[in-house]
């Protein structure tokens, strides 16, 4: 029972953190294909920063497209300050460059 309680608290903390608003007002769109495979929109090498509304609209459009195909991928909007948390080897340098370009410090 103790482990279940800790697990539920962890899920609640994570969901509250995901609702966090970006101090810079900039978001990136990240695609998750599962098993540690991620990419960013429009490309992992040169991601783009968007407003929250734009990023969520792009994520929804991509989710609608990718949910009907052979390969399943989930896209979501993520604050630019926290982009490195979700970065993989393919996306890390792109996110770093984007953050530097916009003068955004990593938020942990």
User: What is residue 22's DSSP assignment?
Assistant: P
Residue burial 6-40, b: 16+ Cβ < 10 Å; e: rest: eeeeeeeeeeeeeeeebebebbbbbbbeeeeebbb
Q: Which two tokens stand for residue 79?
A: 């604050």
Spatial neighbors of 99 by CB under 8 A, at least 6 apart, are 80, 81, 83, 84, 105, 106
pLDDT, one tens digit per residue, over 57-102 is 999 999 888 777 677 788 999 999 998 888 888 889 999 999 999 9
What's the whole-number average pLDDT of the chain?
Answer: 82
Q: Is the pTM of this model over 0.85?
A: no
pLDDT, one tens digit per residue, over 11-54 is 666 665 555 567 788 999 999 877 777 888 888 888 999 999 99
């Amino acid at each position: 029972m103790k482990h279940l309680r800790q697990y539920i608290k962890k899920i609640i903390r994570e969901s509250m953190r995901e609702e966090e608003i970006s101090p810079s007002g900039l978001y990136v769109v990240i695609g998750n294909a599962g098993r540690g495979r991620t990419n960013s929109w429009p490309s992992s090498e040169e991601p783009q920063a968007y407003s929250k509304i734009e990023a969520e609209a792009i994520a929804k459009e991509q989710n609608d497209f990718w949910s009907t195909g052979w390969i399943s991928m989930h896209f979501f909007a993520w604050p630019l300050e926290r982009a490195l948390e979700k970065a993989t080897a393919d996306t890390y340098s792109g996110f770093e460059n984007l953050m530097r370009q916009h003068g955004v410090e990593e938020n942990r």
